[in-house]
């Protein structure tokens, strides 16, 4: 469960006390079943105070038989620069434990920032009326999610944000790698741990090794470097689009997946990751989606339906965000998408949240299947 304190309380508290205080991250373990029900409690080892912002990260189904175990120590949040491969962190919005694999530099198009006239450019054909700002460089990270936390965030965020086109005759078949995510720099709450395997994921030991002489003490193996180099066409994010309507911020990251031949024509595939985040205090619920998809071939498709990926998530101060991935195909090498989400307030009234327009661009080189995996 996403903890509001992780985003609001911990960021300010860790920043305030990082010079004089060390914060221990504690998790609640159900000793009767052996399963972990993570309840972060940040305790200052210098003064013994718990900070007054203890918030549960995950709720156990069994109230009895729980003990506290140390997960690690918080580190100072980096205001500048980037985190290195092997950095352990808590996700400030979704609360899961993770580790950084490698950083990406993306162009962030933030439509909440009014651009100078000279920097604005026209929207996609038919897109809603505002102008798109010039992209600013922003750091994102490819990360591994601790598999122990995946069941607890499944209602808030999909844990299979990375998908590939499968290498067989069915052009619509997809291959997914679970437990990979894309994380913005400001989403990371760094911590350290004395455990040699602090993150449980099947790729952890294949990609990283423990080296106590390094900081962070987890260094990339050659297999991680080779995997990144061979698969970066499917992994690398280049553009991020963001816009806020009535305190609901929508962030979109599109990825080109490749081209497949189907019925004597070429079909181009993209995936897109979307996060909706409630920046206000009012509880709201996503009810409908309305997409417009423009293809370079000249077609304009309208898609309307209930919810997203079969869900109608509630966004509140306690559970402020929802993140998911979906896919789109065109019979042209490029196009645009934009639209709205219909949001319902607790009194039954509705309003539409804009989805920022984003381009669907294909790479010129045709893509072979991801290296190192058998379909």
> How many Cβ atoms from other residues are within 10 Å of residue 279's Cβ?
12
At 339, list the tokens: 């639209």
Through-space distance between the first and last CA atoms of the chain, rounded to whole angstroms: 33
* DSSP characters over 341-374: EEEEETTS-EEEEEEEEEEEE--SS--PPPTT--
Calculate mean pLDDT across residues 106-125. Answer: 67
Return the pLDDT at 77.
Answer: 95
* Helix and strand totals (H; E) in the chain: 5, 21
Calculate mean pLDDT across residues 121-142. Answer: 68
What pLDDT digit, counting tens, does each position of 271-284 carry? 999 999 999 999 99
Residue 19 has pLDDT above 90, yes or no: no
Q: What is the DSSP letter of 185?
A: G
pTM metric for this prediction? 0.78
Per this entry, what is the length of the chain?
375
CA distances from 21 to 10, 24, 69, 72, 223 (A): 13, 10, 19, 14, 38
Alpha-carbon gap, residue 267 to 285, rounded angstroms = 34
What pLDDT digit, counting tens, does each position of 202-261 carry? 999 999 999 999 999 999 999 999 999 988 888 889 999 999 999 999 999 999 988 888
Q: Higher pLDDT residue, 92 or 368?
A: 92
Return the pLDDT at 356.
Answer: 96
Calculate mean pLDDT across residues 361-371. Answer: 58
CA distances from 52 to 42, 44, 262, 268, 318 (A): 9, 11, 59, 52, 16
Query: Which residues lie below 8 Å from residue 213, measured CB to CB, with a gap of 6+?
Result: none
Torsion angle defined by CA atoms of residues 201, 152, 104 and 113, in that order, rounded to the nearest 10 degrees = 180
Query: Which residues lie below 8 Å from residue 254, measured CB to CB, with a gap of 6+?
Result: 239, 270, 271, 272, 337, 358, 359, 360
At 321, list the tokens: 């965000």
């Amino acid at each position: 469960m996403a903890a509001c304190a992780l985003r609001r309380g911990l960021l300010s508290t860790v920043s305030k006390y990082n010079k004089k205080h060390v914060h221990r991250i504690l998790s609640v373990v159900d000793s009767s079943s052996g399963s972990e029900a993570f309840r972060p409690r940040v305790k200052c080892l210098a003064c013994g105070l718990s900070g007054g912002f203890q918030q549960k990260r995950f709720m156990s189904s069994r109230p009895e038989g729980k003990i506290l175990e140390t997960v690690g120590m918080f580190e100072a949040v980096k205001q500048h620069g980037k985190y290195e491969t092997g950095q352990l962190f808590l996700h400030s919005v979704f609360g899961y434990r993770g580790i950084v694999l490698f950083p990406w530099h993306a162009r962030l198009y933030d439509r909440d920032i009014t651009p100078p006239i000279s920097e604005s450019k026209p929207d996609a054909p038919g897109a809603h009326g505002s102008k798109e700002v010039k992209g600013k460089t922003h750091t994102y990270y490819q990360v591994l999610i601790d598999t122990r936390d995946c069941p607890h965030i499944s209602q808030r965020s999909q844990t299979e944000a990375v998908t590939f086109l499968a290498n067989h005759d069915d052009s619509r078949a997809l291959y997914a790698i679970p437990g990979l995510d894309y994380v913005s720099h400001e989403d990371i709450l760094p911590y350290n741990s004395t455990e040699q395997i602090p993150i449980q994921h099947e790729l952890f030991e294949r990609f990283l090794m423990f080296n106590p002489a390094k900081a962070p003490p987890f260094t990339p193996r050659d297999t991680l470097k080779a995997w990144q180099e061979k698969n970066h066409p499917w992994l690398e994010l280049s553009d991020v689009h963001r816009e806020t309507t009535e305190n609901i911020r929508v962030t979109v990251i599109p990825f080109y997946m490749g081209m497949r031949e189907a019925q004597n024509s070429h079909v181009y595939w993209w995936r897109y990751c979307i996060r909706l985040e409630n920046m206000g205090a009012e509880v709201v619920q996503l009810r409908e989606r309305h997409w417009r998809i423009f293809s370079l071939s000249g077609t304009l498709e309208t898609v309307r339906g209930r919810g997203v990926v079969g869900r109608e998530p509630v966004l509140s101060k306690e559970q402020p965000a929802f993140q998911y991935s979906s896919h789109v195909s065109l019979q042209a090498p490029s196009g645009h998408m934009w639209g709205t989400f219909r949001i319902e307030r607790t009194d039954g009234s509705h309003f539409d949240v804009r989805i920022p327009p984003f381009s669907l661009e294909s790479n010129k080189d045709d893509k072979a299947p991801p290296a190192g995996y058998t379909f």
